[in-house]
Each structure stands twice: as C-alpha cells, then as structure tokens.
Amino acid sequence: METGRPGGKAGEVKGIRRAGIWELALRVAALGLTLVAAVVLRTDDQNTTFVLQVSPVLPRLNIPVTAKWHYLSSFLYFVVANAVACAYAALSLLLLLILRRGGGKAADMVTALITISDVMMVALLFSSCGATTAVGILGREGNSHVKWGKVCNVFGRFCHRVSIALSLSFIGSFGFFLLAALAVVGLHRRP
C-alpha cells in the first residue's frame, strides 16, 4: 500500500513513508489482536456446579457441569480463523519488510496479492465473528421457540471470556478492513 499526496516530490515521498508506517502498525495490531483472541478462546473452560431443586420439600442437588471451548463448532472455527489471520498477518509483515527494500513489477504484484488476501481475512474473520456472536446470543438469552435454554447464567466466566475474545477479534477484523480500504485509496491516489 503506497499513498502519495499531491504537493511535489518531497511531499509524495513523505506521504508514502507515512502510509508505510501506518500499514505496518495496523498489521502488527491485527496480528496481536487475532493472536490474543485465539488464545483467550482456546484456553477457555469452566467447571462449576448447577443447583437443581426439583421440589421445595426435597434437598437441593449440586450437579457438576463443565464448559469447554471445543464443545461448539463455532468456537472451534473462531480459534482456527483467528490463528490463520494471525499467521497471515505475520507473513504479510515479513513480505512487506522485504518489499520495502526492493521494488519493480514483482513487488507490485505481491502488494496486489497482499491487498486481496487482506479482503480474504475480512471475509474469514467476519464470518467467524458472526458465528460466535450468534452462538453467544443463544447462550446468553436462549430461545424459547426452539427450546434452547440459556447457559451463561451457569457458565458466567466462560461466557465473559468469549465476549472478550469476540471484541478483540472484531477490532482485528476491522484492522484488516482498514488495511484493504487504505490500499484502495492509495492506489487511486497513485500518480
């Protein structure tokens, strides 16, 4: 992503450098956010007891229950998607740092490929965020129409960590969106 502002050769070079720093910062942020999101959900589990009272005259029953991150396929997909996005962010950073020293047609082609891959990451991360949000809402509120009870009243800490991972991943996804958008603006501004 190279942006050149109008206003002479010096201003243009300054603009390109500024854009380069912004791009690198955004990529590092996206890498960190998707990495932490994947780790937070990958290490999420909770052992607790569910208190069941069948009748007021009978004693309460304490049933041990467990929540694990891989119990729901959406959470598994979320971890894989964030891990893939994180690995890609690292690879794209490496490629861009090498490209900064070089140039020419090959470098131009790699930059185009990176921009398209950024859009792919937007699709991958937003789909995993959508899936996890859908399951998260069901876990928190349940659905009476299909008789799916809420579970977050029992697994409060587990659900809280899911929402943290979700927020981090959503900001990371927005980072990839910004990278793609800035690349398009930069290409349009190119002299």
In the complex, the residues that contact a copy of itself under the rule CB under 8 A are: 67-68, 71-74, 108-109, 111-112, 115-116, 119-120, 122-124, 126-135, 137-139, 143, 145-149, 151, 173, 177, 180-181, 183-185, 187-188, 190
Please say which residue, 57 or 132, places its beta carbon nearer to a copy of itself.
Answer: 132
Beta carbon of residue 55, minimum distance to a copy of itself (angstroms, whole number):
21
Please say which residue, 62 or 73, places its beta carbon nearer to a copy of itself.
Answer: 73
Cα(170)–Cα(126) distance, rounded to whole angstroms?
7
Please say which residue, 56 or 64, places its beta carbon nearer to a copy of itself.
Answer: 64
Per the CB < 8 A criterion, the answer to whether 100 and 189 are in contact is: no
At residue 56, the 3 state secondary structure works out as coil
Cα(164)–Cα(137) distance, rounded to whole angstroms?
14
At residue 102, the 3 state secondary structure works out as coil
CA 109 to chain centre: 26
Cα(125)–Cα(103) distance, rounded to whole angstroms?
30
Please say which residue, 57 or 165, places its beta carbon nearer to a copy of itself.
Answer: 165
Beta carbon of residue 89, minimum distance to a copy of itself (angstroms, whole number):
17
